[in-house]
Every structure is written in structure tokens, then in C-alpha cells.
Structure 1
Amino acid sequence: MKNQKTTEAVLLLEDGTIYRGQSLGKIGTSGGELCFNTGMTGYQEIFTDPSYFGQIVITTVSHVGNYGVQQEEVESENIQIRGLVCKDFSHQFSRKTAEGSLQEYFEKAGVVGICEIDTRALVRHIRDKGAMNAVISSEITDVAELQTYLNSVPSMAGLELSSHVSTAAIYELKPEDAKYRVAVLDLGIKKNIINNLVSRGCEVKVFPYNTSFEEMEKWNPDGYFISNGPGDPAATTDAVKNVRLMLEKNKPLFGICLGHQVLAEANGIATYKMHNGHRGLNHPVKNLITGRSEITSQNHGFVVDAEQLKSHPNIEVTHVNLNDNTIEGIRMKSKPAFSVQYHPESSPGPHDSTYLFDEFVAILEKSK
């Protein structure tokens, strides 16, 4: 059933490609880097993932909004995406536990979107040409005016974005059976990562992205966790500096996604922007230590330089992507520090990768 309040919407890509469809969410204009997610479900988790800050997301699944929204499925307190592009947007929802429609959710958050376009053709275009900036508008139809707006959207390369999504104040979560103290550097952390640490007996203290190492160390943690987040890892200079200082303490350290890239940068290994990135729930990764493969959830547009890793004397590759052989995990040979590019807390396997949290806790236990 079509919503009578929709209006014409326009999607303009950086290379001049134009798509015309119908509006969804708020009537307005928004720009960001255009990328696609191959997941077939979990749209609310995607929209609230801080790693998507500054991006317009194309969903490759046909129907979006059909099961509504509910609070327990958020990964942060806000919708993080700059816009949504989809084929069929449902204003109706059928799940009994849903607390409202996705349309209402977007309107309240001020999110602009476009639907009723050929997303298969659009994804093929982006897959071939690479991720690029775009603008969605349901209020401006003049292409020249849209192009002016698009020109003002910054490139993701060289962009520091953790400052936009990190916690503004320190907070703590402590289970009754707390055994370990883990200091978390929040670069845009997902709630379920914290849940996985707390459920394993970790007292967690979450620090803002720009907290000094000295401030975190005052808490006397047993180990450190470096979170996921948006933007270019090479531009996250404060975090790279902090991780170098953490490594000098020789305490256990675990990084996920951006945290993985920051660990590499802290060891002098460069990262670079990918042609498309990995975003979805179905990416195969091989654990080179055990020989086992995992179905993983991923969301990143930058990757660690594999060539530089080959000649590094103190870093070992632990995981690789079976689609393109990019680096998915590393560990240090002389320190209790390791990281993965993917999201073990998202459980698409469903539990293929949660062992990584267990390994971190085992290292914490061993080091006490």
C-alpha cells in the first residue's frame, strides 16, 4: 500500500548519474558517501551503527520497514546514516512487538531517503565505479542546485568522524561477577560489543575518543578495548597515539573494525580506502591459526595494507577474507594484542566469531 504523503525524490551521484523515485522519511536534502549493504535483515541495527556516520546506505534486500522498529534493536542512541536508498519502503509493519513504523522513526530523527528506484542497477553501478559521494533530495529537483550541494560534501578519505559519535562523558557498566577491568576507547562503539564484554565478567569503563592514555590508565584497567567507528583510520591520530602508549604497558588489547585499523597504524602499518568496502552479514573469513572459516558481519571502507604487513617483524596475520584476500585479523608476536576487521558481536553465523571475546578474556585471566 503506497503512502499518499510521499513526493518525488532525486538521487544525484558524484559522477553525474541521476535516479528519480519517491521520498521516504523526512522531506529534505542530505549528502554523504554512497555505499551498499548486502544484509537481508537487521536494518535497524545497520541504521544505528555509528560506523555508518556520514554515509548514505543502499539496502540490497527488496523490502525495508516491513517489521517496524523497537528500542532493543539499536546499536546506539541515534540513527547514524545520512540517508537511505531502497527499492520497496514499507509504511506498514506486521511484527507485534514493534513500537512504531520506520517512517515515523526516520521522521523523528530527520533522516531523508529515496525509494522506488532500481537498486540492483544502482548497486552494480557502485560496485563497478566504487563508493562515491551522493545527495538525496525530496525538496530540490534542480540538478544544478543539487550539484552545488553535493560539491560541499567532504570526501571520506582523510576524514576524522569519531568525534561525532563517541560518548561525551565517561560511563561504566559492571556485572555482579566482575573479574576484569576493561578500559574502552569509544571511537563509535556498538552496544552489543559492550554487552559481550560485560556478559563475560568484564567491568567496562567507556572513555570518549579524545581521552588521554594517562586518564584511562588512572583507572588501572586489566586490559584495553579499541572500538569500531567511522571515518579514515589514518586521521584518527589521537587514538593511534593512545594505542602506542597502551602497547608500552604490555596489557591485553583487543580491537574491532576501526580499532583493528588503529592497531595497525600504531605499529607503522598503513591503511587505505577500498574500492567499495565490505558491508553485510555474509562475508567469509578464514582463521589462519585454526584453519576454520567463519561467516561474518562487516562494515568498513578502509583496510590494512597487506604488503606492508608482510615485512613487519612483529605482526602476524591471523584472518583473511576469502572473497578478496584482504586482511581481516592480526596479532602482535611480542605483546598480548590482537584485532579483527569484522564484527564478532553481530553473530551472522550465528556464533562463528564470538570465540574472539572468549580469547580476550582468557588473555586477561592469564595476565592477572
Structure 2
Amino acid sequence: MHSNSLSSRELAWLRLSLTPRLGRKTMHRLHQVFGSIEAIVADTTPARLARAGLSPKLAAAIPAAQEERLLAAARRLARGGVRLISYWDADFPPLLAAIPDPPALLYVRGHWPPEPGLAVVGSRRAGAQSRQLTREIARDLAARGVCIISGLARGIDTAAHQGALDADGATLAVLGCGIDQIYPPENRVLFEKIAEVGTLVSEYAPGTPPFAGNFPGRNRIVSGLARGVLVAEAAAGSGSLITAEFALEQGREVFALPGSAHDSSCSGSNALLKQGAHLITEARDILEILWSNLPQAPRTPAAQTPETLSAEDLRVLAPLDATALHIDEIVRRSGLTPMEVSAILLHLELQGSVRQLPGMHYQRVRSG
């Protein structure tokens, strides 16, 4: 359990993190010169900080960090159970520490998962077949004790996290924004579920919006935390291929799902296969390469009983039975808004009460 306030050490790191234009490279340089975060903040006169090569303007900005903003961020993080882990702390993940450009600071919410881990990345606009296969592979790996690592984005990332949760397994989401920001907004339920039973990680200061420039940096952490990277569906020049490049630089295994040669959304992942990535069609293919000795340990969560469902949940479930319904028909029959129905369906999926089928159709899962 995390205390309801940050330690003095965490507050010191938070002050640096909130300083405008002070990034991870400067944090590394400050620590190299002064030896510890305590020594860095012991005397924050600009002349002393300039010994680490900081410009006078940047050196002056550290002690001038707005106290009100610092304390507000600290309260927000403490309420969410967020802890700060620096590169120099004993519990910083060793795999990530060994990459060429490691983060100086991580914001972590949830339970830090055990090894081993597999990163799963792919298109935000992936087809239903790719999403379904990704979910199945992630579920099967998570059932064997593999932590599924992804970026909480739409499409493949979402399918990967959902697959891990289907198996009641470990999953970790690396964010391209502050850990107090939910992006994309439609993944709010998934975000909260991962915060509850998995792990959320960010290297960006609280309040940082999901700027496009953050995501390549996020991707190096996704691959850096994993033993291997699975590219499920990716077009040429996509962010998923950037993650694959990081993986190769970091000495990780790269896997890819094959796609149609006529489908441009699969051109990047098919190119990876031509370049020597492992061709994958099921979880066993990955296990044989990375974790051939993992024990068989399937875990299947029970579906929620009606007694544990809200009135809105039941309004969505009521029209669902053996016959799958399109989401628009569920909206019509339930009388709820499309946004409400989408959020409830995701919640019910994570709880094992419904399953999503291709074409945005949903079917009820009967327990027993």
C-alpha cells in the first residue's frame, strides 16, 4: 500500500519533473554531478546548479517551481496511490535501466508486475480479425503468467490489455501523457481497471497532455520493459514500427502477425517478417521462443452475477442472449446514449459478462 502523502524524496523528484524544459537527460546530468536527489535540492542556487551545465534560465527555474502547482500535483498523485521511482532506486526495473536512453523518473500506479513481460503493439484502426487474434494471444500468454505490456491506445493496444484481463492476468500500460490523464477518453473504464489490478506507468509529469511528440518516447519504454515485442498489425511508417526498431536496438525478440499482402494496414508488419521477425499465429509460438519452461496455469475469471450488476449494466445485458446484437441495436433497446453503452460494454467485457464479436456485435456470456 502507498501512503496518503509523498515522501520528501518523491517531492524533490516531482519538483524537478514539473520544472519547464527540464527533461530526463538533464535529470541524469544533475544526478551524475551531485550524486543524489537530496544533494541536488540541498542547495538550488542557480550558480551551484549551473555546475551541471544548466543554462542560467533553467537553473533559476528549479527553485522557482510554483509551490502551489507542486503541492496540488503531490496531493493528486498521493490520492491515486502513485509512487515515483527514479533510475537510481533499487526497485527501478532492471531491463528498462539497461536500454540506451532510460527514463530518469517513472510515475507508477498499481502493482509492479513480475517478469516475464511481452509488449504488444499495433494499429489504432486495426481490423476486427487482428484485434480478436491479439486478444486471444494476450489472454493465453497472460494465463501462463506473462505480463502483457502495451500503450492503452485504441485498437491493438486495447485488445491486448483486454486479453490479459480476460485471463485475470498481469497487464501494464505505458502512457504517452501524465499518469493523471486518461487518453483516449473512451478507455476510461479500461484505465481504471488496469489501475485497480494491473500497472500504469508514465515518465511524463502530472498534467502533461498526450502530445504527439510524447509517443515515440513512450514506445521505447514499452519495448524496454519487455523481453519481446509482438507487432499485431502495422502500416508502413507507423509508430508500431518505431517500437520494433527500439526493440531491436534493445536486443529484444520481435514477433509479427502475418497479414494480407493486399492490405496496406499490414504492410509494416509483413515487412518485419521479411526482415527476420518471428512469424506468429498463436501464443505457443512466442512461448516456444521466449518461455518454453513456463508452467501451464490457465485462469478463467467468472462472469458477474446479476446481483453485482448496476441497473444500467442490466439494461445493456437484457437484450443480449445467444444471438449477437450490433452496438447500435443495443443502444436502441437500452435507451442509453452510445457513449454510455460503449463504456458499459467494455466494463462487462472486462468482467467476463459479454464478449465482442467482429463488426461491433456483442454476445452475452452465460456462466456455469
Q: TM-score, normalised by structure 2?
A: 0.30
Larger radius of gyration: 2
Higher helix share: 2
**Which has the larger share of strand?**
1
